[in-house]
Every structure is written in C-alpha cells, then in structure tokens.
C-alpha cells in the first residue's frame, strides 16, 4: 500500500504495536469492485458496474489481501532494504487503493441512504484496519532500519524522500508510544471516523434543503437566474414557484442580484445555518466530541495541541508561523471592509432604505458599489461565461502553458450520464484522462473539487493519471446554455489547476505523485491557475457572448481589470475568519468547546465586521470536520496564495503570462515534481529565493510592509 492509500482511510493513522484488527473479514467473492481495471488507457474504473451492496464484501476482501501483503513483508528473513520493504509497501494494497477511489466517488458524488448506511458501518472498520497496519511494530522496525541506513545505501534522491515520508509518518503517528497509549490512540481514530461520517451525513441533509419562493420574490432577478429558479422548482415539484438550493452555487448568485430584501434574508439564513438548526441533523455536539478527541490524541502523541501535530510536517511547520501570516493580513482586510461598508451604507441611505447593512445585504450592495465606482455590473459579464466555452478556455491555457491537448473520448465508463471524459496528451504522448462532472444533483456534496482516480507512476511500469473535476452548476432546462458567475469561473480555473498538477506529475513512486504534497502547498498550483482566466488570450477567444458569439468588449474587460482589487476586503475577511477560527479551535487544547459560543466570542475578539459571516461557519465546516484533512489547516489557502502571488509576478517580470521559459521552469521545478522534493526547495528552484509577502499584499490592494 503506498503512502497515499495508507492514509486514505484515516488521516490520523497511528503506529503502535502489532495487533490484528478487532473485526472479522468475510471470505468474499469476486465482484466488479475487486476486479483489476481493464480496457484502454492502462485500465479504467468500472463505474458502470458499481453496486452499493458490493462495497462491504469488496472492502473486507481487499483489506484481508492487504494485511497478507504486509505479513509477507515482515516475514522476509532478508535484512531490510529499500527494495524488500519500502518498495514492497509502495506496490501493496493495489486492490484496496482502487476500492478507495470507488468509495470516495460514491461518498462525494452519488451518496444515498443506502450508501450512507455502508459508510456508517465501514468507516470505523477502515480506521481500525488502517491502525492495524501502522500499529505493526515489525513493519516499523524494518522501515526504521532502511531509514537509518539510507545515507549508506545506493538510493536515488526520490527513494530517500519516499523512505523519509514512510518513517516520518510512523514516528509522527506514535510508533514509540507504550501499549496502552497506542491502544487509546487507535480507539480515538476509530471513534473519529464514525463522527466524521455523521458530520457529513448531517451536512448533506441540510444542503439538500430548499428555499421555496413565490413568483413575486423572483422579480428583479436577471432573467437567467429567475429561469434557473423556476426550472429548479419544477424539478423539485414546486411548479410555478422558484427554488433556491441550499448550496453556494445557487444561494450566492441570488444574494448578489435579488432586490427583495426579505427573500435575501430567508435564503441567507438557510445557507449560513447548515448544520446548526438543532435536532437530529445538528453538528455542534459532534464538533465538540471531535475537538476533544483530537486534543487528547495530540497529547498522547507528544504535541501541545492538535494544531502543532498537524503542522509539524507542513511547509509552515508551526501554527505560530501560520498565525503570523494571518494576523499580518487581517487588519488591512478589515480596514478595507469598513471602507466598503461605508460606501454601501451611503447607497442604502440615499435610496431611503431606512436600515443598517446586514450580512444578507452585503453581496447585493457590493454590486451596487462596484457599479457606482467602476461602472461594472458583473451581471453584464455573465452572458459571456458559458460553461462549455470556459471548459475550452481551460484546455487552451493548459495547452499554451504546458503543451497539453484534450480530445473527447466515448465509451469510458462513468458513474453518471452527465460525466464526460477527455484524453490528455503532451507532446504527442498520452498522459491521462480528465473526467468532468459539472452539475448539481441529489446525493452530491456542494462546492467544487478535484479527485484523482489513479496517480501517475513509473515504478513497475508507466501508469498514467485519471483525474476529475466536480462542480455544482445548475443544469439548464431542455439543454439551455449554462451561464455561471465570475466567482464560479475562477473556481473552475482553480480546481482545474489541481488537475493540471496531477497531469504534470513525472515521478517514479506513487506515494509522491501529483498532488500528494503538504496541505499548505497543494493549493499553490491551483490558485496560480486562476490567473490565466483574465489573460487577454483567454478573454478574447473564450469569454464570448453565448448568443452573439462576440468576445467580451474591451471596455468591459478594462472595467474588470480596474476593479480587480474591489471587494478584496470582503473576500479576505470571509475566508480568514474561517481560517483563524479553525486554528483557534485547535490551539484551545483539552477544553470542552461549545462551537457556536466559541465562534461568536472569538470573532468578537478579532473585531469581525458584523456585516460578514465566516465563509464556512463551524457547524458546516466540512474542510475541518468531515475528516482530519484541513483541520488546523484552512490557513493553507492564504499560505499558498502567498506563493501564488510571488510566482505570478515571475511571469509578469518575464513580460508574458505565457512566457515559455517561465512556464517550462514552473513545469520542471514544481508541477512535475509531486512530493519527490521538499516544497520549500521546489519554490526556491523556481523563484531563486524564498517567498515574500509583498506580492500577496499588492495583489489584494493592501499596504505592503517595508522590505516585502
């Protein structure tokens, strides 16, 4: 089992003494989920053959097989070496790795009550299984021996890095704990796995709720938004009315353009209170338990807090360094918000509104300020943001920068008819497939993300990448063009940046492939890719009117450029509030936390503008509480954006966003490297120095510290 697969079942895997999992495996019979992938492109996942009832027996069979593989490694009488220990671990767990891909797809894209029942049963078992591997003292002993001898061994730099990663994972996870503490950490991991599943189930329930609007409440909306609300209502059995889904892609455009203040408040409250409505689907008690368990585990592992444990192997290294960055950006961001709020309140007063700006008013009046200050109405831009054209823009920029070509293919199994697939080549050579799943549906979590179904490697033979992007756009009725917001267009480029990172990978071992990098580094390539949306080459060719097919007018592009730092205060404060609360929750240590109270009091201490709420309020903060993934790590987006802004200035210094030498250097030093090299070294290889904060502050229109 490679390192990516080893950590997939439980991000908090802990090394302890050798034990057997406290559950039984069924003998299992072959089913589509356990079969090797066959067909073209090195084999393809059989999404069309998945049956939810097959997951449990398939997982049990794959876990049993993987345990046998590790038993064979530890039974080897030969002295531990990279080949018979580390490389053998890299090549194990292939069946289980394939199964995790199916499991993740159904959890995120095709969840149903039937599948949720499987998750509730299997997630704790998967956690226990994962611990049974990392609790294997004999296995850790072999890894330690290889690690200690790596300097004398004839290993490549990549082999040394892979060895370090394995050893670091075992040690960080508690390989040296006593037996009682090892058992307790394993129990914590199992309990957390169940809580994560419950949190996800509750959030998915609340994101499935809808806000029904009367026809009069749709008045004043742009035609495209009103029609989307009516078609969604029809699909939800509310014909003749309007429906706003409780997802970001549906709620935010309504909040931006609806002149009906009461309707805005109704939609806003439904959206920001996901997971926080009391009763069966409330997440607060679950969060309290998760925080207590994380704090206890961190202490057992020898760390002051969960935040200190999580950041030890990050690029930031310590929560103090992450907080230093956030605290440097917070004051100018809040100051920018206050200036913008004053402008918005002036418009309200001039219109005789007779009310004080509230959070459900912010987006609507921000657009009025944008229009007044910059003569820019982003609703004017939307007719130029047609989904298929934007997809082609992604392909164009990736081709011009990195030599990729995308060709649609048919006959590839998919998990839903709306998923489409493209073959990706570079310099005439096949490098992978890109799957695109753009539309919202029941059972699909909200937001946008990237998933890899298979990572690149050349370990035993060349294996190419299978990667997907998943979004939640509202499908047009009867095949009508899908027009998305400017924010959604930026998100498309962002998530495609993750896909590019995976497709550029050129490593030997799967554990260091593609996006398998530090949490505060993985967002760097994706955030960097957002910059190519606004390049003239993309704007002129792909940001074209969905009806007239004419490119976006130059004067409108100029307005967008002029207004690019507008609302940066809002965007930064909305995000940073979430990142700061995440870090503060996990720096609080072993105290019993009431999430709502903690959020309210800590935001007050920070001086959070009352006109804004966190981008992700605590009861719906899936990044942090649906797994350990971004826990004490949501700061990563700001950390990565510091790298991004600095990197983008390298292109600007070269004179072009498509400068060939700079693009080639980016590919060679960062995008192709995966985790074969320390991320700080990768950045230095590209930029010739460590990152500076000045570019970030300039990009956001904030004052630049002296010397930055």
Integer Cα distance of 565 and 379 in angstroms: 18
Integer Cα distance of 205 and 202 in angstroms: 5
Q: To 10 degrees, what angle do helices 362-374 and 248-257 make?
A: 60
Q: Is 422 in a helix, a strand, or coil?
A: strand
Integer Cα distance of 316 and 310 in angstroms: 10
φ, ψ for residue 450 (rounded to 5)?
-115, 145
Q: Is 16 in a helix, a strand, or coil?
A: coil
Give the end-to-end CA distance of the chain in Å, rounded to a whole number.
Answer: 44
Closest alpha carbon to 469 in 511, 507, 501: 501
Q: Contact, 275 vs 596, CB < 8 A?
A: no
* Bridge partners of residue 435, in order along the sequence: 421, 468
Closest alpha carbon to 76 in 135, 138, 20: 138
Integer Cα distance of 245 and 229 in angstroms: 9
Q: Is 431 in a helix, a strand, or coil?
A: strand
Integer Cα distance of 516 and 456 in angstroms: 11
Integer Cα distance of 88 and 93 in angstroms: 10
Closest alpha carbon to 186 in 9, 5, 448: 9
Q: Is 296 a catalytic residue?
A: no
Q: Contact, 80 vs 145, CB < 8 A?
A: yes
Instruction: Answer positive or negative: Cα dihedral of 484, 487, 491, 492.
Output: positive
Alpha helices in 505-632 (DSSP H): 519-529, 536-542, 554-562, 568-587, 595-606, 622-625
DSSP conformation class of 550: P
Closest alpha carbon to 381 in 334, 188, 389: 389
The one catalytic residue among 367, 457, 495, 574? 495
For 120-174, strand residue ranges (E) read none
Q: Contact, 25 vs 60, CB < 8 A?
A: yes
Cα 438 from chain centroid (whole Å): 16
Q: Contact, 452 vs 467, CB < 8 A?
A: yes
Closest alpha carbon to 12 in 134, 144, 181, 136: 134
Give the residue numbers annotated as catalytic, written as ranges.
Answer: 495
């Amino acid at each position: 089992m490679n390192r990516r697969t080893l950590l997939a079942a439980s991000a908090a895997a802990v090394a302890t003494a050798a034990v057997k999992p406290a559950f039984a495996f069924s003998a299992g019979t072959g089913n589509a989920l356990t079969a090797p992938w066959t067909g073209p492109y090195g084999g393809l996942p059989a999404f069309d053959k998945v049956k939810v009832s097959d997951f449990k027996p398939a997982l049990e069979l794959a876990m049993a097989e993987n345990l046998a593989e590790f038993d064979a490694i530890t039974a080897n009488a030969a002295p531990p070496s990279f080949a018979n220990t580390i490389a053998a671990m890299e090549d194990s767990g292939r069946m289980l790795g394939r199964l995790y891909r199916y499991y993740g797809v159904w959890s995120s894209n095709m969840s149903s009550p039937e599948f949720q029942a499987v998750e509730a049963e299997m997630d704790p078992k998967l956690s226990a299984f994962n611990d049974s591997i990392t609790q294997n003292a004999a296995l850790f002993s072999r890894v330690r021996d290889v690690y200690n001898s790596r300097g004398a061994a004839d290993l490549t730099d990549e082999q040394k890095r892979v060895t370090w990663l394995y050893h670091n994972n075992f040690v960080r996870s508690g390989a040296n704990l006593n037996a009682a503490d090892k058992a307790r950490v394993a129990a914590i991991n199992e309990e957390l796995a169940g809580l994560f599943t419950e949190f996800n189930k509750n959030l998915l329930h609340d994101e499935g709720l809808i806000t029904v609007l009367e026809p009069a409440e749709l008045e004043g909306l742009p035609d495209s938004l009103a029609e989307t609300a009516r078609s969604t209502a029809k699909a939800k059995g509310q014909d003749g009315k309007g429906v706003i889904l409780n997802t970001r892609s549906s709620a935010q455009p309504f909040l931006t353009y609806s002149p009906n203040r009461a309707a805005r408040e109704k939609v806003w409250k439904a959206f920001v209170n996901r997971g926080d409505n009391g009763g069966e689907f409330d997440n607060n008690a679950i969060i309290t338990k998760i925080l207590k368990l994380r704090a206890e585990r961190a202490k057992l592992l020898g760390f002051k807090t969960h935040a200190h444990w999580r950041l030890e192997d990050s690029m930031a290294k310590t929560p103090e360094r992450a907080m230093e960055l956030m605290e440097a950006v917070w004051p100018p961001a809040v100051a920018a918000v206050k200036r913008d709020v004053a402008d918005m309140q002036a418009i309200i007063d001039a219109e005789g509104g007779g009310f004080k700006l509230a959070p459900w008013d912010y987006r609507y009046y921000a657009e009025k300020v944008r229009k007044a200050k910059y003569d820019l109405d982003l609703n004017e831009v939307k007719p130029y943001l047609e989904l298929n054209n934007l997809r082609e823009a992604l392909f164009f920029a990736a081709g011009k920068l990195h030599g990729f070509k995308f060709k649609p293919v048919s006959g590839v199994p998919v998990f839903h008819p709306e998923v489409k697939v493209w073959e990706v080549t570079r310099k005439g050579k096949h490098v992978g497939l890109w799957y695109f799943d753009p539309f919202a549906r029941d059972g699909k979590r909200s937001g946008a993300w990237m998933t890899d179904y298979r990572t690149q490697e050349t370990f035993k033979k060349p294996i190419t990448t299978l990667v997907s992007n998943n979004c939640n756009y509202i499908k047009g009725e009867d095949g009508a063009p899908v027009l998305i917001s400017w924010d959604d267009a930026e998100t498309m480029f962002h998530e495609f940046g993750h896909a590019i990172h995976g497709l550029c990978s050129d490593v030997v071992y799967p554990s260091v492939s593609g996006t398998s990098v530090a949490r505060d580094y993985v967002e760097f390539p994706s955030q960097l890719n957002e910059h190519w949306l606004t390049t003239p080459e993309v704007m002129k060719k792909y940001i074209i009117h969905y009806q007239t097919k004419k490119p976006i007018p130059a004067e409108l592009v100029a307005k967008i450029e002029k207004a690019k730092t507008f609302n940066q205060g809002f965007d930064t404060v909305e995000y940073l509030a979430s990142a700061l609360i995440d870090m503060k929750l996990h720096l609080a240590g072993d105290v019993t936390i009431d999430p709502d109270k903690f959020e309210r009091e800590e935001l007050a201490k920070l001086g959070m503008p009352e006109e804004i709420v966190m981008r992700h309020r605590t009861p719906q903060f899936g990044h942090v509480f649906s797994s350990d993934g971004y826990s004490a790590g949501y700061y990563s987006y700001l950390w990565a954006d510091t790298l991004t802004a600095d990197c983008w200035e390298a292109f600007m210094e070269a004179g072009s966003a498509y400068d060939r030498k700079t693009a080639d250097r980016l590919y060679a030093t960062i995008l192709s490297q995966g985790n074969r090299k320390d991320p700080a070294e990768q950045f230095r290889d590209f930029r010739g120095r460590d990152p500076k904060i000045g570019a970030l502050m300039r990009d956001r229109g904030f004052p630049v510290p002296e010397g930055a």
